Amino acid sequence: MPGTYGGAGTRNRLLVMSVLGLTGAAAARIARQMPGAPLIALPYGRGQFGADREMTRRTLVGLGRNPNAGAVLLVGADRTRLDAVAEGVAAAEIAAGEHVHVHNMRSLRGRREDGR
């Protein structure tokens, strides 16, 4: 099946990706609720600068552009890093809003079932 940007993919799965080590556990919980959704979670991410930070961004963007990813759900606590990865993944998609959804963990404050 051709991807929207010309690549060929057969799995068309939701890819759940944590852009920071801090949000890996939350991304894993989300992926467990989505049968067949592969999880990519980094053990680090904060405190990266320069070439190291850019290499991590390029790696995440490359994984998100995989033709077997029908959609990408990015999870993170740093909106700047989320946007950088989302923009890179979306750049390969004509209808970016249909394929990249950015979820900022800070937006969930006050929404826990236990009231915290």
Categorize the per-residue pLDDT at 115 as very low, low, confident or very high, splitting at 50, 70 and 90.
Answer: very low
d(CA 49, CA 37): 30
- In the chain the first and final C-alpha atoms are separated, in Å, by 45
Question: If you average pLDDT over residues 59-63, what whole number do you get?
Answer: 91
Where exactly are the structural domains of the chain?
13-106
Categorize the per-residue pLDDT at 81 as very low, low, confident or very high, splitting at 50, 70 and 90.
Answer: confident
Give the tens place of pLDDT for each residue, 89-109: 887 664 444 555 555 566 655
> Is residue 5 helix, strand or coil?
coil
**CATH class of the domain defined by 13-106:** alpha beta
Q: Is the pLDDT of residue 2 over 50?
A: no
CA distances from 66 to 28, 42, 90, 112 (A): 20, 17, 12, 33
d(CA 49, CA 92): 25
Give the tens place of pLDDT for each residue, 68-79: 888 889 898 888
Task: Please tell me the predicted confidence (pLDDT) of residue 108.
Answer: 57
Give the tens place of pLDDT for each residue, 12-37: 788 999 988 889 999 999 999 998 99
For tokens 């993919």, what's the residue?
A: 9
